[in-house]
Amino acid sequence: MADWNDLKALRTAQSGTGIEGLFAADPNRAKGFSASTQDMHLDYSKTMIDAPVRDALIALCESEDVARRRAAMFAGAPINETEGRAALHSALRNLDGGPVYVDGQDVMPDVLRTLARMRSFADAVRAGTTAATGGAFTDVVNIGIGGSDLGPAMAVRALSPFHDGPRCHFVSNVDGADIADCLRGLDARRTLVIVASKTFSTIETMTNARTARAWMIDGGGDPARQFAAVSTADDKTAEFGIDPDHVFGFADWVGGRYSVWGPIGLSLMLAIGPKAFDAFLRGGQAMDLHFQAADWPENLPVMLALVGLWHHQVCGYPTRAVLPYDQRLERLPAYLQQLEMESNGKRVAMDGSTLPMPSGPVVWGEPGTNGQHAFYQLIHQGTGTVPCEFMVAATGHELDLAHHHRLLIANCLAQSEALMRGRSLEEARALLMAQGLGGEELERQARHRVFPGDRPSVTLIYPQLTPFVLGQIIALYEHRVFVEGAVLGINSFDQWGVELGKQMATSLGPIVDGTEPVQGRNASTAALVEYVHRHAGGAD
């Protein structure tokens, strides 16, 4: 049975063996070190994972009892132990599945009933039969933050070729600039506002919701007809004055960052229609089935997780970059930052003990090819190693622009190859000599043109970015986070780390307003507040 020390020993023994060396030693490496679903392919051969490393990673997975925890998650057991809840987002996409029990009660009838209500509401809004004060809705504004924003915002952008409903906008930041820029130019009499908040108490969302309500009344709209809510807190939505027919509830066993599959996805359903939304759910469900059935080496979420653990916990690379060569996935890195870092950015294990190894890495990224002209310099020639996760579709949606897509693919493949291969000093010298350079100048210049190579990457390739494929991608990453968390012994479903800042913001509010004195706060905070008061005039 392998452990972290075995993996570290394997890593040390590898020194000097390059990734290209692994390809030279194994003609079947590309096939042997990749995994596929019916239509999606994950290539992790451009890493230093070889057969002994993979065996040791899988053994780790087995010893940490990932299979038992996976079964517990899908069965609705309260695996979110610090909150005493299940983590059952998979039930939201369990379209053809059987019953799912939480505390002995089948949750599927409720899930399907809410989905049916969402469908009727979306159909009516899209058809114009549920209309605003000024006629059919032209625009939808989703007000939410974190999981109540990033999922639908990312998915609405990703699936723009499928939009045939009202335009969707997203407001998240309490910075008034966000809502002001969004509402400017919208018709208050033809806008639907969705207040999306699991708790219906998040200060940013409630502040924005009140601002939107005032804007609507000022503009001649009617919040009683033009506001909807998505929440687990019926009492609070009623208190806010939202028509119960426009309230879509969900249970507390859906974590915020896992909630796009249910009512939090209402804006997405309004944009693409219930049928395409179903396809999105089916994509997620297909990945659930794959995750539960495929053997470890063929299991995409498991292998993606093991690659992540190898790079961060064993090799010690502090970050990982998500690089979609798909402009419509431009919000995916932000979405994954919440999914991965809020889930696994913990320093205490499930049992309260201090983790003996680093937990989740920093996740960041931007779509290619834009990133190539910004931060890839560091990825190729910087002093540290950044494992890269490339993703690309075989076909774009712009069939008349197929040459763009071919170039996009060529760039994506070129980057993973360049990172792996690098360029030696000899090759750099030869390049410059061919340009007529010689002597000391050649030596100096050549060093700048060396690429160390051996920089690892994985590539996820899919046929086309459809609702079904997007559903698979999101569920793939959700389960990857789950496996990493399970191996590390983390509770991936709580987020206590966001509480302290929220509390401090609440206590600082009156001080910034000028209604309470600044005395007693830390000297740095006090000086910053005084600066604000000097320059903004204090309370308004």
Show Cβ contacts of residue 177 under 8 Å, excluding neighbours closer than 6 positions.
none
Among 46, 93, 190, 198, binds ligand F6P (CB under 6 A): 198
Site for ligand F6P in 291-350 (CB under 6 A): 342
Task: Give residue 334's identity as a one-letter amino acid code.
Answer: A
The most distant pair of C-alpha atoms in the chain lies apart, rounded to whole Å, by 80
Mind spelling out the 3-state secondary structure of 476-531? HHHHHHHHHHHHHCCCCCCCHHHHHHHHHHHHHHHHHHCCCCCCCCCHHHHHHHHH
Decide: 161 and 327 in contact? Cβ < 8 Å.
no
Q: Which is nearer to ligand F6P, 13 or 498 (CB)?
A: 498
Rounded to the nearest 5 percent, the helix, strand and coil shares of the chain are 55, 10, 35
Looking at the Cβ atoms of 147 and 324, the one nearer to ligand F6P is: 147
Q: Which is nearer to ligand F6P, 257 or 429 (CB)?
A: 257
| ∠ Cα 317 413 51 (to 5°) | 55
Task: Single out the residue of 257, 320, 328, 429 in contact with ligand F6P (rule: CB under 6 A).
Answer: 257
Check residue 197 for interaction with ligand F6P (CB under 6 A). yes
Q: Strand 191-196 to strand 227-231: parallel, antiparallel, or no bridges (unpaired)?
A: parallel
Annotation marks residue 20 as catalytic: no
**Which residues in 388-414 are b (16+ Cβ under 10 Å) and which e?**
bbbbbbeebeeeeeeeebeebbeebee
Comparing CB distances to ligand F6P, the nearer of 146 and 301 is: 146
Ordered DSSP codes for 9-31: HHHHHHTT--HHHHHHH-TTHHH
Name the minimum Å distance from CB 228 to ligand F6P.
15
Q: Terminal CA-to-CA distance of the chain, rounded, Å?
A: 65
CB closer to ligand F6P out of 162 and 248: 248
CB of 497 to ligand F6P, least distance (A): 9
346 a catalytic residue = no
Q: Give least dist CB 494 to ligand F6P, A.
A: 9
Q: Which residue is nearest to ligand F6P (CB)?
A: 256
Q: Which residues, at least 6 apart from 428, have a Cβ–Cβ distance to it below 8 Å?
A: 446, 447, 449, 450
The stretch among 13-21, 94-102, 198-206, 292-300 that binds ligand F6P (CB under 6 A) is 198-206
Are 383 and 353 contacting, i.e. CB atoms less than 8 angstroms apart?
no
**Single residue of 146, 221, 223, 371 touching ligand F6P by CB under 6 A:** 146
Q: Which residue is catalytic, options 31, 275, 404, 502?
A: 502
Span from 24-32, 195-203, 473-481, 528-536 in contact with ligand F6P (CB under 6 A): 195-203
Of the candidate residues 14, 199, 319, 381, the single one contacting ligand F6P (CB under 6 A) = 199
Count Cβ neighbours within 10 Å for each residue of 263-289 and write b for 16 or more, e otherwise.
Answer: bbbbbbbbbbbbebbbbbbbbbbbbbe
Q: Please select the residue that binds ligand F6P; options are 203, 407, 498, 539, rule is CB under 6 A.
A: 498
Q: Which amino acid is at 350?
A: M
Among this protein's residues, is 373 annotated catalytic? yes
Size of the site for ligand F6P (CB under 6 A): 14
Strand, coil or helix: 457: strand
Bridge partners (DSSP) of residue 80 are 85
Q: Which is nearer to ligand F6P, 161 or 345 (CB)?
A: 345
User: In this structure, are residues 187 and 216 in contact, taking their beta carbons and an 8 Å threshold?
Assistant: no
Pick the catalytic residue: 46, 312, 340, 342? 342
Looking from the CA of 197 toward its CB, the CA atoms found within 13 Å total 24
Q: Which of 61, 76, 147, 372 forms a contact with ligand F6P (CB under 6 A)?
A: 147
User: Residue 342 Cβ, how far from ligand F6P at the closest point, in Å?
Assistant: 6
The DSSP bridge partners found for residue 320 are: 363
Orientation angle between helical segments 499-513 and 203-218, nearest 10 degrees: 50
Q: Using the rule CB under 6 A, which residue among 205, 237, 343, 457 binds ligand F6P?
A: 205
Contact stretch for ligand F6P (CB under 6 A) within 139-147, 215-223, 364-372, 517-525: 139-147
Closest approach, Cβ 70 to ligand F6P, in A, equals: 22
Of 139 and 342, which has the nearer Cβ to ligand F6P?
342
Among 34, 80, 94, 148, binds ligand F6P (CB under 6 A): 148
DSSP state of 253: T
Closer residue to ligand F6P (CB): 226 or 495: 495
H or E element, residue 248 = strand 247-249
Site residues for ligand F6P per CB under 6 A:
145-148, 197-199, 202, 205, 256-257, 342, 495, 498
Q: Which residues are catalytic?
A: 342, 373, 502
